[in-house]
Amino acid sequence: MANKYVPTKILLEESELPKAWYNMNAVMPEKHDPALNPATLKPCTVDELKGPFCDELAAQEMNMTDEYIPIPDEIKDFYKMVRPSPLIRAHFLEKVLDTPAEIYYKFEGNNTSGSHKLNSAIAQAYYAKKQGLTSLTTETGAGQWGTALSMACAFLGLDLTVYMVKVSAQQKPFRKSVMETYGAKVIPSPSYTTEVGKRILAANPTTGGSLGCAVSEALETAMKTPNCKYVLGSVLDHVILHQSIIGLETKTALEKYGIEPDLLISCIGGGSNFGGFIAPFIKDKINGTAKYDILAVEPPSCPSLTRGKYAYDFGDTGKMTPLLKMYTLGNGFTPSANHAGGLRYHGMNPIVSKLYHDGYISVNSVEQTKVFDAAVMFAKSEGILPAPESSHTIRAVVDQALKCKETGEKKKIVFCLTGTGYFDLKAYEQYNNKTMTDYIPTDEDLAKGFATIPDIPQNK
Amino acid sequence: MANKYVPTKILLEESELPKAWYNMNAVMPEKHDPALNPATLKPCTVDELKGPFCDELAAQEMNMTDEYIPIPDEIKDFYKMVRPSPLIRAHFLEKVLDTPAEIYYKFEGNNTSGSHKLNSAIAQAYYAKKQGLTSLTTETGAGQWGTALSMACAFLGLDLTVYMVKVSAQQKPFRKSVMETYGAKVIPSPSYTTEVGKRILAANPTTGGSLGCAVSEALETAMKTPNCKYVLGSVLDHVILHQSIIGLETKTALEKYGIEPDLLISCIGGGSNFGGFIAPFIKDKINGTAKYDILAVEPPSCPSLTRGKYAYDFGDTGKMTPLLKMYTLGNGFTPSANHAGGLRYHGMNPIVSKLYHDGYISVNSVEQTKVFDAAVMFAKSEGILPAPESSHTIRAVVDQALKCKETGEKKKIVFCLTGTGYFDLKAYEQYNNKTMTDYIPTDEDLAKGFATIPDIPQNK
């Protein structure tokens, strides 16, 4: 295998498309603490989760036993249009860096949603449709998830209402246009369409909104609309489950060409791409047989893992969601508006949180001006304009490759390029005009967020 | 072969990437009339073309004999990052249309330039670099070519100045940002940076510009800048040559799975994607052995083929280019500003013009509101938001497929999906808001353009 010729762009056959998703919960040596019903502080039952969520998604969320969960044919047929996605050798980035490292990236941006979000969007819309629902609600921050779900709902004939963080809707008017072209109703959040939105606006009429606040509005609207459920694009375990297709394809491609990775890297916001990317690699890591390290990358402006607390917290500002045990900055935390990309969520997926807590993965944080230095270097050498979120990963990869240059190590670095930056050009303009700045919250800033973490016995 | 399973997304191996471009000029039964030097009205020599153009590109432009022209390794290495592009079976569009037709599309939009333009951009930048040039100039309308060339120049370390049609620069500010991120200097045209720009602005200070005018400015700047040449993304034969990679890959993919097309369709502006897409299919058409028809699609608002004159004309408003024998609306023709997409050029590539004139290809025109109906239908069923240009093709494909539904014909329709519409959302907004209108120039409107076709003996 060692001398097999490896093409620049490793493409899998349609027959190599995964037939089942990978469920990390089934192989965790110690399961993460269960979601709690905030009213009772007891573990949520599947039936309780079926309140806001689709039946099948609630069941997937609670599945702690099945390592593989079959992908329905209808979803596979959709995947076949856009997947398998390529694993690309970054020959030209390596050359620019003059590094002995080998760099590979799994490129998830080659679809109109511009990111990996479509992998879960189509699955969630499919289960909603199968259950006989006629509409869905969701929130979106950077806009990738909202676009992906709009596409999936248009494909399956479901109505969709998207609460889009107001500041993001203003900065990215065309994200709104794409979703509307796909037939979605897009409402800048906070809005006067919900009670929680009205409360937030009464308290702070000029707020630009936050993801936690948009979640609350979407949830409230789903609860009061007949035949409608709430879905979301990150944080929960079933989202990570669907995103495991990224890691499964990556693993197949690497094994096909006998490439043994030394390091797997991806950025982390709520955990959706990171969790999916590392999913099939985690078992060997847990068993101690893996030769590779796994690195998550986050922005210092929203440092959930690097500076957050491991505690039960709400997923939203309106305190309507189940309580999740996770690394959190507090449901009231809002990152500085000068932070360009996504990765703005206060919390973190429970599996990823547990893996970090138990030492299976490590985390770095990288500042946004340095992130954009790397983004432009990548765009020029590899031809793809990366999303700001993905560019955090690229920065970390570049730093690792430069370290290899110093040490002479021929590390094989594999990363997930989650998406493209075509709707993030305001941020690139700031970078080009040198008006982009970095922001690191002080301990006092963080203390305000931590104060919103619920004061419950489980957090003592 | 007939029963071989055909995947939804037909992917070629890296080893199936074409090793040579296909030169239609070598197989034309009758060559098109040569480009003329406007000063002498005699056929241009290669040396004369080397004035404004790179040496190798001038030589390719005049090559009437070599059917295959090898692709240099450096260009092949770049292609390997983004090519071969997929040929996708439009299963879901077929289902929506309930048609017995089989629809396949060659998707050229999966790169940051958002279109096929990168195929020629990297080739042109490569030859410029090889010749020792340090900078290039060009024009761009919709912005796809400017973006593609910015990427190619950034990759190879060349400086680039792009004259962008002013109205387009205003409508698509983020196109400008992408090019600037790749290091290009973008100047809305007409501008005060050139003599021709000053003249045009003196005559019409509020003009939104035109492609013909931007060509003149780019040419003038190239001529007065040391170590700099002018390049362009369509119209000339060497551009079609580079774009033949689209058709070559399409042909390989079809043959690999035993798919025999009945109809090849693509949109046409200056001819770059259309010419490249049909290039390797034209020989059998000329020989009379082809079972397929070839259809070009253009907007009625810029009807070069359907209503133009076959005559010698300038490629630019400033009358600085060689004279080309082509279908033209007159170098002074400017399509109505309400026309959303590209496909706004007054002329047409000479090979394509000749093929049309000699009856090897046919042409349809489709109105823009109907074009966007089809675009949204495609976006919802196939998941890709198409560029307005490509959507003209989709409209024609849908019409053909609906005709098959009536007749019961199981036609195999293959089309080129040239690009994505991520930077064209103003047009989609107009469509969504129902403020988009159609425009068909009157005979009087066209007469004004025709009056600008030069009055030379060859045009008598």
Residue-wise pLDDT for B116-131, tens only, equals 999 999 999 999 999 9
The yes-or-no answer to whether B48-69+116-230 and B72-114+243-459 have a common fold is yes
pLDDT surpassing 60 at residue A2: no
Q: Do B154 and A80 touch (CB under 8 A)?
A: no
> Taking CB atoms and an 8 Å cutoff, what residues of chain B touch A11?
11, 13
Q: Copy the structure tokens of residue A183.
A: 């037939």
Structure letter (DSSP) for residue B420: B
Fold classification of A48-69+116-230 is Rossmann fold (3.40.50)
% helix, strand, coil for chain B, step of 5: 45, 15, 40
Q: Please compute Rg for chain B using Cα positions.
A: 21
Q: Do A81 and B151 touch (CB under 8 A)?
A: no
Count the helices and strands in chain A (H runs, E runs): 19, 17
Which pLDDT score, from 0 to 100, does residue B136 have?
98
CATH architecture of the domain covering A72-114+243-459: 3-Layer(aba) Sandwich (3.40)
**Nearest-CB residue to B381 (from A155, A379, A428):** A155
Mean pLDDT in chain B?
95
Which pLDDT score, from 0 to 100, does residue B387 have?
96
| 3-class SS of residue A95 | helix
Q: Copy the structure tokens of residue A453.
A: 């973490």
| 3-class SS of residue A414 | strand
> Taking CB atoms and an 8 Å cutoff, what residues of chain B touch A384?
111-112
Asked if residues A298 and A10 have their Cβ atoms less than 8 Å apart, the reply is no
> Taking CB atoms and an 8 Å cutoff, what residues of chain B touch A14?
7-9
Counting one residue from chain A and one from chain B, the pairs whose CB atoms sit within 8 A come to: 128
pLDDT surpassing 80 at residue A339: no
**Nearest-CB residue to A155 (from B111, B118, B383):** B383
Query: Is residue B173 very low, low, confident or very high in pLDDT (cuts 50, 70, 90)?
Result: confident
What are the DSSP calls for A71-88, one per residue? PPHHHHHHHHHH-SPPEE
Q: How far is B316 from chain A (nearest CA, A)?
A: 30
What are the DSSP calls for B292-305, one per residue? -EEEEEE-TTS-HH
**Nearest-CB residue to A181 (from B7, B88, B428):** B428
| 3-class SS of residue B231 | coil
Residues 6 or more apart from A110 whose CB is under 8 A from it? A82, A85, A86, B110
Domain ranges of chain A: 48-69+116-230, 72-114+243-459
**Nearest-CB residue to A81 (from B174, B376, B382):** B382
Mean pLDDT over A187-205 rounds to 95
Q: What is the pLDDT of residues B232-264, one digit of tens each?
A: 999 999 999 999 999 999 999 999 999 999 999
| 3-class SS of residue A5 | coil
Which pLDDT score, from 0 to 100, does residue B340 have?
65
φ, ψ (nearest 5 deg) of residue A26: -70, -20
Pairing of strands B102-107, B412-417: parallel
> Taking CB atoms and an 8 Å cutoff, what residues of chain B touch A111?
383-384
Which pLDDT score, from 0 to 100, does residue A209 have?
87
What number is the ipTM of this complex?
A: 0.96
Q: How far is B362 from chain A (nearest CA, A)?
A: 31
> Taking CB atoms and an 8 Å cutoff, what residues of chain B touch A431?
181
Query: Is residue B1 very low, low, confident or very high in pLDDT (cuts 50, 70, 90)?
Result: very low
Query: Is residue B343 very low, low, confident or very high in pLDDT (cuts 50, 70, 90)?
Result: confident
- In this structure, the number of other CB atoms found within 10 A of the CB of residue A157 comes to 11
Q: Do B177 and A422 touch (CB under 8 A)?
A: no
Mean pLDDT over A23-44 rounds to 97
What are the DSSP calls for B235-288, one per residue? SSHHHHHHHHHHHHHHHHHHHHTT---SEEEEE-SSSHHHHHHHGGGHHHHHHT
Mean pLDDT in chain A?
95
